[in-house]
């Protein structure tokens, strides 16, 4: 069989299962309820204005890896500000959340170690654990009793690591970090938290760790992105000075990647400043999220809601998820259909994300449209 024929056959099988994915260019006027731009910062005019004034002095690209000649003053300032926000000794900024998780886990975890990972952790965590070649132990989602049982039963020749998302991107629920931190201390494990969806939203913007009043220590590592609530691009790892210096020397995804553009780092730093100075953005998005849940409930729509801007409507069938998505788009609303393998089989869903840019009218229109679309579906 020729290679392209092989690809066509595989693609057809994907289409037959209603799992085919396409990229969308949203037309002007479409209300986007799928973006992770929780605080409405990705095109804020203040940062745009400052960038326009500074652009002649800022290089468009970094030109090299941060270990060659790509490390710039603006990246250093960004790392310093992030370490202050996260209350850690140091910070490393890298190209993306995927590069952060895979690179961190591969660098610090060895074959002798054991990793305890939540069953709903992000794909980048799963891949990072695979690359580390450590023993992997999966515990049931947010199940503290199952985690402790597995910590008891699994001895490790090396270190023990517990890895969890702070806010789970496909569920919208929050990891019980207070209990997890207690277990990590009790069983002498290092705790790694991917706070991609918690940073900027929870804990006065500082993230899930601060939402629970946990004080960072040498056995807690915080990972996050600049592409969601911060409205920019890139990612960061915050921890002790020793950790960051080790990663600079051993983390392959930052050693062998060109550093982020100074323009992008400038945007991140400006947006982070707005994020911390304007708590009303967090208050509004969390209030709108609660309103969406309550208004949907009044109309008999059962949304899963956990106090974050991520709400889900589980529909089960891939076909139904696509139907709802497409009909909503006809009404000028975009909500992406999430299907396996991103979520478990039988749990296809509409993942709704609320932004600071949304209005109460947008929320009302979404609820009304959802009700009409769901009532029109006949399988």
pLDDT in tens, 155-199: 888 999 999 999 999 999 999 999 999 999 999 999 999 999 999
- 75 with 232: CB under 8 angstroms? no
| pLDDT at residue 213, rounded to an integer | 97
> In 119-188, at which residue ranges do the beta strands (DSSP E only) sit?
135-139, 160-165
| pLDDT at residue 238, rounded to an integer | 98
- 284 with 243: CB under 8 angstroms? no
Tell me if the bond preceding 37 is cis, omega within 30° of 0.
Answer: no
Q: Quick one: DSSP state of residue 167?
A: B
Asked if residue 379 has pLDDT above 90, the reply is no
Q: How confident is the model at residue 267 (pLDDT cuts 50, 70, 90)?
A: very high
| pLDDT at residue 276, rounded to an integer | 97
3-state secondary structure 189-209: EEEEEECCCCCCCCHHHCCHH
Closest CA to 195 of 227, 156, 241, 155: 227
Looking at 23-32, 234-243, 320-329, 363-372, which range is the least confident one? 23-32
| pLDDT at residue 92, rounded to an integer | 98
The span from the CA of 154 to the CA of 13, in Å, is 40
CATH of 59-277 among 3.40.50.150, 3.40.50.970, 3.40.640.10, 1.20.1740.10 = 3.40.640.10
Asked if residue 27 has pLDDT above 90, the reply is no
Q: How confident is the model at residue 113 (pLDDT cuts 50, 70, 90)?
A: very high
Question: Topology of 26-40+279-376 in CATH?
Answer: 3.90.1150
| pLDDT at residue 234, rounded to an integer | 98
Asked if residue 18 has pLDDT above 80, the reply is yes
Average model confidence (pLDDT) across the chain? 96
| pLDDT at residue 24, rounded to an integer | 86
Q: How confident is the model at residue 1 (pLDDT cuts 50, 70, 90)?
A: confident
| pLDDT at residue 51, rounded to an integer | 96
Asked if residue 336 has pLDDT above 90, the reply is yes
Q: How confident is the model at residue 107 (pLDDT cuts 50, 70, 90)?
A: very high
Domain boundaries, the chain: 26-40+279-376, 59-277
Q: What is the mean pLDDT of residues 236-246?
A: 98
Interior CA angle at 210 toward 146 and 360, to 5°?
100
The span from the CA of 269 to the CA of 101, in Å, is 21
Q: How confident is the model at residue 231 (pLDDT cuts 50, 70, 90)?
A: very high
- Tell me the percentage of the chain whose pLDDT exceeds 90: 97
- In sequence order, which ranges of 166-300 are alpha helices (DSSP H)? 177-186, 208-211, 241-250, 252-255, 262-277, 280-298
- 117 with 128: CB under 8 angstroms? no
Asked if residue 128 has pLDDT above 90, the reply is yes
Q: How confident is the model at residue 280 (pLDDT cuts 50, 70, 90)?
A: very high
pLDDT in tens, 47-95: 999 999 999 999 999 999 999 999 999 999 999 999 999 999 999 999 9
| pLDDT at residue 156, rounded to an integer | 81
């Amino acid at each position: 069989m020729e290679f392209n024929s092989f690809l066509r056959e595989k693609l057809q099988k994907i289409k037959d299962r209603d799992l085919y994915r396409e990229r969308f260019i949203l037309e002007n006027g479409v209300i986007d309820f799928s973006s992770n731009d929780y605080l409405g910062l990705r095109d804020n005019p203040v940062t745009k204005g400052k960038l326009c004034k500074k652009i002649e002095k800022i290089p468009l690209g970094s030109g090299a890896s941060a270990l060659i000649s790509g490390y710039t003053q603006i990246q250093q300032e960004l790392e310093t500000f992030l370490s202050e926000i996260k209350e850690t000794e140091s910070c490393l900024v890298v190209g993306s959340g995927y590069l952060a998780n895979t690179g961190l886990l591969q660098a610090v975890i060895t074959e002798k170690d054991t990793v305890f990972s939540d069953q709903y952790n992000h794909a980048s965590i799963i891949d990072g654990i695979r690359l580390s070649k450590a023993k992997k132990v999966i515990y049931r989602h947010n199940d503290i009793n199952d985690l402790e049982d597995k910590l008891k039963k699994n001895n490790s020749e090396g270190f023990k690591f517990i890895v969890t998302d702070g806010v789970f991107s496909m569920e919208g629920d929050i990891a019980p970090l207070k209990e997890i931190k207690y277990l990590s201390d009790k069983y002498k494990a290092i705790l790694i938290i991917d706070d991609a969806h918690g940073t900027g939203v929870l804990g006065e913007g500082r993230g899930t760790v601060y939402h629970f009043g946990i004080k960072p220590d040498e056995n807690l590592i915080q990972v996050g992105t600049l592409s969601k609530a911060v409205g920019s691009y890139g990612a960061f790892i915050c921890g002790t000075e020793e950790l960051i210096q080790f990663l600079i020397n051993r983390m392959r995804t930052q050693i062998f990647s060109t550093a982020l553009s100074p323009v992008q780092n400038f945007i991140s730093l400006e947006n982070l400043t707005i994020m911390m100075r304007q708590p009303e953005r967090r208050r509004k998005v969390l209030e709108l999220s609660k309103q969406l849940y309550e208004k949907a409930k009044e109309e008999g729509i059962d949304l899963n809601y956990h106090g974050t801007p991520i709400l889900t409507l589980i529909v089960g069938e891939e076909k139904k998820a696509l139907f709802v998505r497409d009909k909503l788009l006809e009404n000028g609303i975009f909500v992406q259909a999430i299907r396996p393998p991103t979520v478990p089989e039988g749990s296809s869903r509409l993942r709704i994300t609320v932004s600071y840019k949304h209005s109460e009218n947008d929320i009302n229109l979404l609820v009304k449209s959802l009700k009409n679309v769901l009532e029109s579906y006949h399988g």
